[in-house]
Homo-oligomer: A and B are copies of this chain.
């Protein structure tokens, strides 16, 4: 083997992120192309293949210098590289790995985007040096990715690590996007945090700096800013957030017993306060054999997907 390079591809609903790495894990260059979702997303893989082959030409790379191309996509992907549909892309079930391999004539590996991001954080991010890792991505929704023994845990049908749909509240009356009621995502996503704040604002007469913001414009960032400014109502929301997430991660821990939990996604920009709130509740509910797990913030931001995808082909 003479491998010097590998490519990582992260397919999103509007853009595809691509990166070329050396096999030591340095990102040499990254770029984006639009995701063309028309016609069942049938142009997406040919567009990706064309972009990678053009980059190889531009950089005068030989085929035998490229270890392969890893790809992460927003749908369940099993250990064989089959994707079981991706609603945002218009994709049905097919072998993502094989189709891209045919287009590129290079080794290809495929995974779910959240799982792949966890692998990226393990390789070059917040979980560097560990090989039993849980990544929780707190964005508009809640994603999760699990690494055990240095490998992605895809599960039987690619739904491994779907932590956002961990049932956490028996009393919930409003359904989650998934159809169930009381999923973790309903409380600790950016949307969930805003919902918790709105409920408190509606049912409490106590003054809060959050009242100055029109309800329709209230964001999770506003809530965290108010927490940092010491607003008591916002601090209650933060405590609830920490309780839901800490308790859920204690449940996750007694299943997979990770060394480290990595917290990523837009909400994690609030910083270390997140870690403190979650870890406090985690320690309360975790089985003693798992209580020593570390908590850290994600480091790769939106690049975690391309890092992890590239890492897929290096095993």
Taking CB atoms, residues of chain B closer than 8 Å to A250 are: 167
A287 contacts the other chain (CB 8 A): yes
Roughly how many angstroms separate A252 CA and B257 CA in the complex, as a whole number?
A: 12
Q: Provide the A66-90 mask, 1 if CB < 8 A to any CB of B, else 0.
A: 0000000000100100001000000
Selecting from A152-160, A265-273, A301-309, the interface stretch reads A152-160
Residues in B with CB closer than 8 Å to A183 are 287
Query: What separation, in Å, do the CA atoms of A283 and B154 have in the docked complex?
Result: 21
Q: Report B-chain residues with C-beta under 8 Å of the C-beta of A251.
A: 166-167, 251, 255
Point out the residues of chain B lying under 8 angstroms from A292, CB to CB.
Answer: 157
- For residue A7, give the distance in angstroms from its CB to the closest CB of chain B: 25
Interface size class of A (residues with CB under 8 A): 35 or more
A155 proximity list for chain B (CB < 8 A)? 132, 148, 256-258, 290
| Given A132-B155, A287-B178, A255 and B167 contact (CB-CB distance below 8 Å) | no
Q: A132-B156, A156-B132, A287-B180 are in contact. Are A256 and B254 (CB under 8 A)?
A: no
The 9 closest A-B pairs by CB, nearest first: A155-B257, A159-B289, A165-B287, A132-B156, A159-B257, A156-B259, A160-B257, A162-B254, A255-B255
The answer on a CB contact under 8 Å between B288 and A255 is: no
Copies of the chain in the assembly: 2
A17 interface residue, CB < 8 Å from B? no
Tell me the nearest residue of chain B to A184, going by C-beta.
B254
Segment 173-189 of A: residues with Cβ below 8 Å from B:
178-180, 183
Q: Specify the main secondary structure of chain A where it touches its partner.
A: loop
Expressed in whole angstroms, the Cα–Cα distance for A262 and B161 within the complex equals 20
A residues near B, CB below 8 A?
A: 76, 79, 84, 132, 146, 148-149, 153-163, 165-167, 178-180, 183, 247, 250-259, 285, 287-290, 292-293
> Within the assembled complex, what's the spacing in Å between the Cα atoms of A156 and B161?
17
Whether B76 lies near A165 (C-beta < 8 A) is: no
Question: Of the candidates B252, B285, B289, which one forms a contact with A255 in the assembled complex, judged by CB atoms under 8 Å apart?
Answer: B252
Q: A159 to B162, alpha carbons, bound, how many Å?
A: 20
